[in-house]
Structure 1
């Protein structure tokens, strides 16, 4: 299968993976043949990229970070409980099973990640039209748990870290959806309202039965930055809990790689570069290095152009050096289709680099 931007889809192509709506129901099945109207509908739904069947890459298997069942159950609980908090008619609402419910979600994610070897941070926003807040909360939880696992936290620590990550944006349930999804630039007053979600989330969670106080502090501190430029309190380096620092990295990465009404999604390598621009100022170097070594910056199935002029598809991610994948070449340096595709392993061919990725208008510049 091959990963293509929706703008590159052509009638007659067939989907290689199902597309789900925000209820977890199938909108389009595998092998569904795309028409002009379906392609237009995918664009309207906010999908940026989809997997399509392709003879050149039919042997590529795209692994999931968590199982379909874990994903489905997690999204159900997130939607159900977040929507209850959004219901303004339920003033003073206290749900004593909130902690128990979300801890079970985190435990399921932990079990899935523990059963998989060499798990990489893969894009989680492909082939899904989930409302941003719900999907983002789950993505950040998965990414953060993986980073914490690599860092060496115990299972008990990972459970609290994962719970804090899952609920980091819980305060947004009390912010107007129209404001959160405003297409244009926010006014200064509107931005202050959006920023208040950190304090709101803390207040909602700190006394909630079954929610550790540390998880509530993750909601409070996930926008703090080590140079003091974050919010809501402008904390510095050691004033910020380590859990919140991990969540801050995962939160920023997922936000940058997600298409929204006011923002076009960046590709993973672009988002990673943006994160590294804040190395030592916004984020700790050691944490970014762990992130760098465990994120698939070039997703399987994506088309890449090499410094040699050749073009091909990413068919394998080298877990030791994910920035240098294996590319299956289908076009030579003269722009001609090759009669027999061949592979270049960038982990061994160190003089060759990726200069452009399909779906990206930004060429990568190397000194």
Structure 2
């Protein structure tokens, strides 16, 4: 839970920077993201979990609201980060514009980290697969505008990292596409029969049937 909170805080802050939020807004966003799941610290029974009024978002909101050092906006991040644009989220089923900007940002960051690190059926995904899942949620479970900023912000496969492609070839990421973080440029180096090396670059944004299968280092 601690590592998840740090990941969500980092991703949320990067999105906020991409959106040109001012220093005070970034501070509130970062604190809200770091504490978004604080309501999970109190354990409840399975029967209690069925009651929206006992959802961890409610408990987190009440806990943070009682702390004078935190603004009400920070408390609302904990309260609203499971609300969704389609009005089917928890705990109050708010619609798109009723959800605060900070909560929308944290929702995207939280979803991404859960898809990578969580324990559900859709967890443990490769980064580009997680992004494809998120793009399918645009306008329903995730805010479209926030998702665009997320895609411009996150470096799924950082330059310099070694990867294995679906062709079983290995290479190094040498370039990025802003807005297409899951489709970088990969340089593949093969040694020929002699001492010659065959070097080629595969732009995954153009070779759409190829994908990164594994991160090597």
Q: Quick check: TM above 0.5?
A: yes
1:214 aligns with 2:73: yes
* 2:205 corresponds to 1:357: no
C-alpha displacement of 1:343:
3.7
2:175·2:186 contact (CA, 8 Å) conserved in 1? no
- TM-score w.r.t. the length of structure 1 is 0.51
| Distance (whole Å) between structure 2 residues aligned to residue 161 and residue 341 of structure 1 | 48
Q: Show the counterpart of 2:35.
A: 167
Structure 2 residue runs without a partner (length 5+): none
Q: Which runs of 4+ in 1 moved over 4 A?
A: 261-264
In structure 1, stretches of 5+ residues that fail to align are 1-132, 180-186, 361-367
- Give the distance between the partners of 1:354 and 1:311, measured in 2 at CA: 14
Please give the alpha-carbon distance, in whole angstroms, between the structure 1 residues aligned to 2:128 and 2:49: 28
CA contact (8 A) 1:175 1:193 kept: no
Structure 2 matches for 1:287-326, cutoff 5 A? 287-299=146-158, 300-305=161-166, 309=167, 311-318=169-176, 320=178, 322-326=181-185
Q: What is the rounded CA distance, in whole Å, between the counterparts of 1:355 and 1:319 in structure 2? A: 15
Residue 142 of structure 2 is aligned to residue 283 of structure 1: yes
- Is 1:227 the counterpart of 2:118 in the alignment? no
Secondary structure at the aligned position of 2:153 is classed as coil
Q: Give the structure-2-normalised TM-score.
A: 0.84
Contact in 2 for aligned 1:314/1:325 (Cα 8 Å): no
Residue-pair matches, total: 209
| Alignment of 1:192 onto 2:50 | yes
Give 1:262-281 correspondences, 5 Å limit.
264-281=123-140
Q: 1:245-280 CA deviation, whole Å, 9 max, x = no partner?
A: 010000010011005387641111111111111111
Deviations 1:15-46 (A, max 9, x none): xxxxxxxxxxxxxxxxxxxxxxxxxxxxxxxx
Structure 1 residue aligned with 2:25: 157
Q: Which residue of 1 aligns with 2:188?
A: 329
Residues of 2 paired with 1:222 and 1:282: CA distance? 11
Match of 1:69 in 2: none
Q: How much has 1:316 moved relative to structure 2?
A: 2.4
Secondary structure in 1 aligned to 2:70? coil
How far is 1:281 from its partner? 1.4
Question: Secondary structure of the residue that 1:355 maps to in structure 2?
Answer: coil
* Cα RMSD after superposing both structures: 2.9
Q: Secondary structure at the match of 1:161?
A: helix
Gap change, CA 1:325 and 1:356, over 3 Å in 2: closer
Distance 1:237 1:271, change over 3 A: same
Quote how far apart the aligned CAs of 1:358 are: 2.5
Among 243, 249, 252, the residue aligned to 2:108: 249
Which among 11, 21, 28 is matched to residue 143 of structure 1?
Answer: 11
The answer on whether the counterparts of 1:272 and 1:297 sit within 8 Å (CA) in structure 2 is no
Deviations 1:174-223 (A, max 9, x none): 126xx8xxxxxxx7x37537971100101111021311111001100000
Per the alignment, do residues 339 and 199 of structure 1 end up closer, same or farther by CA in structure 2, a change over 3 Å counting?
farther
